[in-house]
A and B are shown apart, each in its own frame.
Chain A
Amino acid sequence: MAEPERSEVDPTVSDLPTPLLQMRGIVKEFPGVRALDGVDLDVAAGEVHCLLGQNGAGKSTLIKVLAGAHRPDSGEIRWAGSPIVFGSPHDADAAGIATIHQELDLVPGLSVAENIVLGHEPGRFGFSSPRSAENVARALLRRLGHPEIPPRRELGRLSAAGQQIVSMARALSRDARLIVMDEPSAVLDADEVDNLFRVVRELTADGVAVVYISHRLEEIRRIGDRVTVLKDGRTVARNLSAPQTPTSEVIRLMTGRAIEYVFPDRGPTPTGDVVLEVDGLSRRGEFADVSFTVRAGEVVGLAGLVGSGRSEILETVYGARRPTTGTVRARGKKLPGGSVPAAVRAGMGLAPEERKSQGLLMSEPVYRNVSLPALGRFARAGFLSGGAELAAAAEITAQLDVRPPDPTRPVRTLSGGNQQKVVLARWLLEECSILLLDEPTRGVDVGARSEIYALIRRLAARGVAVLLVSSEVPEVLGLADRVLVVREGRVVREAPATELDEGRVLDLVMEGRDREGSRL
């Protein structure tokens, strides 16, 4: 495909009269790479400005420049019309720019109120005043629509969504005029996303500017005013109208292509043997009486909200959590509850939700990540023969088209999609027959997603039984043969994917009811 012409990819709608923030030609170089290669960004007061781009397009670097964490090598930043230099995070803070990072930068051991006022504690002569801090916190949390969060609660005991709210309250407590939100919805439920959007609208109504970053394009349409698209460290389009620009156009700008996710063909209904039987599985406080089966070659999807128990079900099937009652049978053999090694021996493999913290050894080379569960095969009496291991890992990663094709490269240097392929390669090498996938495309950019989908289908076609968890309903519907809808720890509906659509599944996960009114 030919590189699109520059004139075509710069459909600048209009420059606003006085943008609050104006960045021009920002360049930031790191040893060996130009992370930002001439980025322009205009943000007006009172707007939600969406920043889009694939992983590695330079979004994170740009945010860090804005937050004063990186100093740009060249380019100009104007703040409310006058040039400004952010030499340190403190400068950005003083100007009124607050960032809500993807990895929340809060202190788990402090209380909610202490976190909100951290660095700006109300008080005199160095003595803090807990009561006024709590009052500040209470007022902000009420404003954010979460009066139920107790200011004295230890932060670490809140849910991810709760912590996100606290992070936002913290930004508000600084009287921020510009709030950067880096994938704020990644850890939120549909309900919580609605609430987040309500808060964002209130903020913008007050004249606060929001820079909103998300992988979910449908959110951009719902909340965004204008869009700036980054690609390879450059601004390829700026100030597009968020509600009017077609999704296909945005994707084309981000990737240079015009395809939305394409789900591979399902093929005939799988009729393989039942290889995974889950019967009456329960875990106190998490989920109850979950029963289902998965056939060889079949993809079964678990749809449900964050907190509905879907990931917990997956992890319990895998033995990473011990069930209160119920049994799991893999290829006819009953597994002891709560033993991952037993599950792996029985042919199971898990691609966990948090790839970096749960799945991979980030600084180890690809091949060592791939061979980890199957290591015993490359050893005699415990002594490794390195050659066979490397060769096997090289073969399997080549099969999955892991790029770059160098199995000795540290995993952390790979993109999100390729890291996920490394996790899949691991279980392929182990010749696992039951694959459990928890959010297989989280943090995977648009281009690599379709590849992962095709890969999952290919594995199923080889006879692997796949159990898939995803918070993106279209993903479950597009990929799975059969769907289990989970709500509040119970399976409320089981149906072939072709009999469901997104609206019905959403009704089910929210209300527990089918639109037709059939309740299970």
Chain B
Amino acid sequence: MTANDRQAEAVVTPPVPPAAEQDRVETEGARADRPSALARVLDTGVGRNLGLVAVLVVLCVIGVSTADTFATTSNLLTILTSASIIGVITVGVTVVIIGGGIDLSVGKVMALASVWATTVATQSYGPAVMVFCALAVGAGCGLVNGVLIAYGRIVPFIVTLAMLISAQGLAERISGKRSQIVTDPTIAAIATTRVLGIPLLVYIFAAVVAVGWVLLNRTTFGRRTFAIGGNPEAARLAGLHVRRHTVLLYVISGLCAGIAAIMIASLTTTGSSTHGTLYELDAIAAVIIGGTLLTGGRGTLIGSILGVLVFTTITNLFILNNLATEVQNIAKGLIIVAAVLFQSRARRADT
């Protein structure tokens, strides 16, 4: 090709490679990233959840075959009720983890909120103020967490660990390390009320999950949460208010802890600094087996909730069969490891 020809070609045709060639390269590249059929199914939110649904089904089969009472309505409602409190907490923790953070303080923030809402002084103002107090304490703790993390630039692990410890301390201080009895009949009635045969606690749980799901999947807030968790620098350079958003994530988590505080105060009819011990770990474990990346940016709320149900069902099975709780924790540990192994296999096949 002479120099003249080359110039002529440069002028006449846009300087792109022949389309067929480019397509070939691209489809080749695309095929490299096309995962195997199994991995593809597992990689979708539904697929990962299907795995957990399968685990749940297996657990139910074990339940039905080992305990006569497992498949009764009352037992299933027991499972759902005991899942409801940790479930509400898990919603908040899922949102934070997808957003690239971690919240270790949820259990003790719940304890603090339950204590604050059930002091004699608070109870004297009636149920509305009690609920308000619990939510405000939860959201307030979340706000402190979020501001320290986003504006103070301290690692979330440290901030929320410090919050866990100090919330515990404050709860003990306020309550004098005593359980505070819930005397308000309205609050006490939350746990005993049933609508259409289903406990009110389960409705609250379902409502929080529904709101959380819509927030994560159908709003700009949710989309930005995934973006910030997936690549905070890219999110910042795309003009997102990353810090403000991060604060809100922790406020949401705190708020969920506040809601859970009312639920547990009602269920146990006490506010106590001993509530919620190790709830943060249960919640994080549920999030992990639900397929959410601990590094943020990817995950599903439904997965987390299934994770909660799996753990609660295991507990229920052990109780029905009069097995020791120690063994139960070993089983949970194994499930976490198995779930993560399974997911990382699927993901590796994917890349």
Stretch at the interface among B118-126, B147-155, B220-228: B220-228
A443 sits at the interface (CB 8 A): no
A259 to chain B, nearest CB (A): 6
A500 sits at the interface (CB 8 A): no
Interface residues of A in 364-410 (CB under 8 A from B): 364, 368, 372-373, 375-376, 379, 382-384, 403-404, 409-410
Check A357 against B231 for contact (C-beta < 8 Å).
yes
Check B237 against A350 for contact (C-beta < 8 Å).
yes
Q: Which residue of A lies closest to B18 (CB)?
A: A1
Check B32 against A35 for contact (C-beta < 8 Å).
yes
Which of chain A's residues have a CB closer than 8 A to the CB of B240?
341, 372-373
A333 to chain B, nearest CB (A): 16
A454 sits at the interface (CB 8 A): yes
Cβ proximity bits B1-45 to A, threshold 8 Å, 1 near / 0 not = 100001001100011111001111111111111111000000000
Interface residues of B in 245-298 (CB under 8 A from A): 297-298
Cβ proximity bits B294-335 to A, threshold 8 Å, 1 near / 0 not = 000110000000000000000000000000000000000000
B344 sits at the interface (CB 8 A): no
In the bound assembly, the distance between CA atoms of A360 and B230 in angstroms comes to 9
Which of chain B's residues have a CB closer than 8 A to the CB of A362?
230-231
Cβ proximity bits B203-228 to A, threshold 8 Å, 1 near / 0 not = 00000000000100011110110110
Check B14 against A375 for contact (C-beta < 8 Å).
no
Query: Which of B21, B35, B219, B237 contacts A382, CB < 8 Å?
Result: B219
Check B14 against A415 for contact (C-beta < 8 Å).
no
A353 to chain B, nearest CB (A): 10
In the bound assembly, the distance between CA atoms of A340 and B238 in angstroms comes to 8
Check A31 against B27 for contact (C-beta < 8 Å).
no
A132 sits at the interface (CB 8 A): no
A262 sits at the interface (CB 8 A): yes
Q: Which residue of A lies closest to B23 (CB)?
A: A403
Check A384 against B31 for contact (C-beta < 8 Å).
no
Given contacts A363-B297, A412-B33, contact A357 B233 (CB under 8 A): yes
Which of chain B's residues have a CB closer than 8 A to the CB of A415?
25-26, 29
Interface residues of A in 230-280 (CB under 8 A from B): 232, 255-259, 261-262
B8 to chain A, nearest CB (A): 11
A326 sits at the interface (CB 8 A): no
B225 to chain A, nearest CB (A): 12
In the bound assembly, the distance between CA atoms of A148 and B13 in angstroms comes to 52
Check A410 against B33 for contact (C-beta < 8 Å).
yes
A-B contact count (CB 8 A): 141
A25 sits at the interface (CB 8 A): no
Check B10 against A259 for contact (C-beta < 8 Å).
yes
A129 sits at the interface (CB 8 A): no
Which of chain B's residues have a CB closer than 8 A to the CB of A352?
234, 237
B67 to chain A, nearest CB (A): 42
Check B31 against A232 for contact (C-beta < 8 Å).
no
B235 sits at the interface (CB 8 A): yes
B246 to chain A, nearest CB (A): 14
B197 sits at the interface (CB 8 A): no
Given contacts A340-B237, A373-B238, A403-B23, contact A33 B220 (CB under 8 A): no
Which of chain A's residues have a CB closer than 8 A to the CB of B6?
258-259
A474 sits at the interface (CB 8 A): no
Which of chain A's residues have a CB closer than 8 A to the CB of B32?
30, 32-33, 35, 413
Given contacts A341-B241, A358-B237, contact A256 B224 (CB under 8 A): no
In the bound assembly, the distance between CA atoms of A454 and B14 in angstroms comes to 8
In the bound assembly, the distance between CA atoms of A131 and B97 in angstroms comes to 44
Which of chain B's residues have a CB closer than 8 A to the CB of A358?
231, 233-234, 237
In the bound assembly, the distance between CA atoms of A383 and B214 in angstroms comes to 9
B349 sits at the interface (CB 8 A): yes
B194 sits at the interface (CB 8 A): no
Check A372 against B235 for contact (C-beta < 8 Å).
yes
A439 sits at the interface (CB 8 A): no
Interface residues of A in 429-485 (CB under 8 A from B): 447, 450-451, 454
Which of chain A's residues have a CB closer than 8 A to the CB of B9?
259
Q: Which residue of B lies closest to A352 (CB)?
A: B237
Check B15 against A262 for contact (C-beta < 8 Å).
yes
Given contacts A232-B28, A363-B297, contact A256 B21 (CB under 8 A): yes
Q: Which among B24, B26, B224 has the greatest number of chain A C-beta atoms within 10 A?
A: B26
Given contacts A30-B32, A32-B34, A259-B10, contact A384 B16 (CB under 8 A): no
Which of chain B's residues have a CB closer than 8 A to the CB of A492?
none
In the bound assembly, the distance between CA atoms of A414 and B26 in angstroms comes to 7
Which of chain B's residues have a CB closer than 8 A to the CB of A379?
219-220
In the bound assembly, the distance between CA atoms of A232 and B23 in angstroms comes to 12
10 closest pairs, A vs B, by CB?
Answer: A344-B239, A450-B15, A33-B32, A413-B33, A447-B17, A262-B15, A32-B31, A361-B230, A372-B238, A382-B219
Instruction: Please give the residue numbers on chain B whose beta carbons come within 8 Å of chain A beta carbons, in ascending order.
Output: 1, 6, 9-10, 14-18, 21-36, 214, 218-221, 223-224, 226-227, 230-231, 233-241, 297-298, 349
Between-chain CB contacts (< 8 Å), 19 pairs: A1-B21, A32-B32, A232-B24, A232-B25, A258-B6, A344-B238, A345-B239, A361-B231, A362-B230, A362-B231, A363-B297, A364-B226, A372-B224, A372-B240, A373-B238, A410-B33, A426-B238, A450-B15, A451-B16
Instruction: Please give the residue numbers on chain A whose beta carbons come within 8 Å of chain B beta carbons, in ascending order.
Output: 1, 30-33, 35, 54, 56, 232, 255-259, 261-262, 318, 320, 340-341, 343-345, 350, 352, 357-364, 368, 372-373, 375-376, 379, 382-384, 403-404, 409-410, 412-415, 418, 426, 447, 450-451, 454
